[in-house]
């Protein structure tokens, strides 16, 4: 009786090493465009405290970061940041996390969404985005890791007052695969 079970386990183990990565949802051109947008927003003037928005503002943008560890290259992800200027809180999420090879070509989509929470104080933004992401390693195994990114930035003036955000995005992914994350977040309310 043990032989059929052992054979089944061997077949299952060999099948689990044949996972196919989820194709990336960005192109190399998207990566270049994101870099250009981050550079543009970083050069904008910071919003004066008296000119900060009131109520809640939703900023849509991205996180772009270099990664090292079990993967080398970078990530590019979509970010939605909801800043409550009256309540001084931050909510939102980070999704569509794409792993980019060192040569700038997109490699795979890391599935999963990071939930964001934090505080806003006089235009200063301090938040954390965290959650579980899943990908496929170079050996074809599905891997999961807990990703945590600390967002530290401010509100900026783009086409209006307080309609852009920019700052650092630093953190790590720990679990089946390990990543160090060092980059920026940016977005606009337009």
Q: Tell whether 159 is covered by a domain.
A: yes
- The confidence band for 190, taking pLDDT boundaries of 50, 70 and 90, is confident
Number of domains forming the structure of the chain: 1
Q: What is the pLDDT of residues 85-135, one digit of tens each?
A: 999 999 999 999 999 999 999 999 999 999 999 999 999 999 999 999 999
Confidence of residue 138 (pLDDT cuts 50, 70, 90): confident
7 within a domain of the structure (yes/no): no
Task: Reduce the secondary structure of the chain to three states and give it as a string.
Answer: CHHHHHHHHHHHHHHHCCCCCECCCCCHHHHHHHHHHHHHHHCCCECCHHHCCCCEEEEEEEEEEEEEECCCEEEEEEEEEEEECCCCEEEEEEEEEEEECCCCCEEEEEECCEEEEEEEECCEEEEEEEEEEEEECCCCCEEEEEEEEEEEEEEECCCCCCCEEEEEEEEEEEECCCEEEEEEEEEECC
- Residue 50 forms part of a structural domain: yes
Instruction: Classify residue 13: in a domain, yes or no.
Output: no
Q: How far is Cα 47 from Cα 106, in angstroms, rounded to an integer? A: 34
The answer to whether residue 89 sits within a structural domain is yes
Domain that includes residue 181, residue range? 19-188
CATH number at residue 39: 2.40.160
Residue 88 lies in a domain: yes
pLDDT, tens only, 34-85: 999 999 999 999 999 999 999 999 999 999 999 999 999 999 999 999 999 9
- What is the per-residue pLDDT for 17? 63
* Residue environment code for 63-93, b if the CB has 16+ CB neighbours within 10 A, otherwise e: bbbebeebbebbbbbbbebebebeeeebbbb
Mean pLDDT across the stretch 4-12?
A: 39
Q: Is residue 47 part of a domain?
A: yes
Domain-embedded: residue 30: yes
């Amino acid at each position: 009786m043990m032989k059929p079970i052992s054979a089944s386990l061997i077949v299952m183990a060999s099948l689990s090493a044949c996972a196919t990565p989820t194709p990336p949802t960005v192109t190399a051109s998207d990566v270049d465009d994101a870099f250009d947008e981050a550079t543009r927003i970083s050069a904008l003037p910071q919003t004066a405290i008296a000119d900060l928005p009131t109520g809640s503002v939703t900023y849509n943008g991205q996180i772009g970061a270099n990664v090292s560890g079990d993967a080398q290259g970078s990530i590019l992800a979509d970010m939605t940041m909801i800043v409550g200027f009256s309540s001084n809180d931050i909510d939102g999420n980070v999704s569509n996390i794409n792993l980019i090879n060192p040569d700038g070509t997109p490699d795979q989509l890391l599935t999963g969404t990071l939930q964001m929470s934090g505080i806003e104080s006089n235009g200063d933004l301090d938040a954390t985005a965290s959650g579980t992401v899943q990908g496929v390693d170079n050996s074809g195994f599905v891997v999961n890791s807990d990703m945590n990114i600390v967002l530290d930035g401010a509100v900026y003036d783009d086409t209006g007052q307080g309609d852009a955000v920019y700052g650092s995005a630093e953190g790590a992914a720990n679990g089946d695969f390990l990543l160090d994350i060092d980059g920026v977040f940016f977005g606009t309310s337009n």
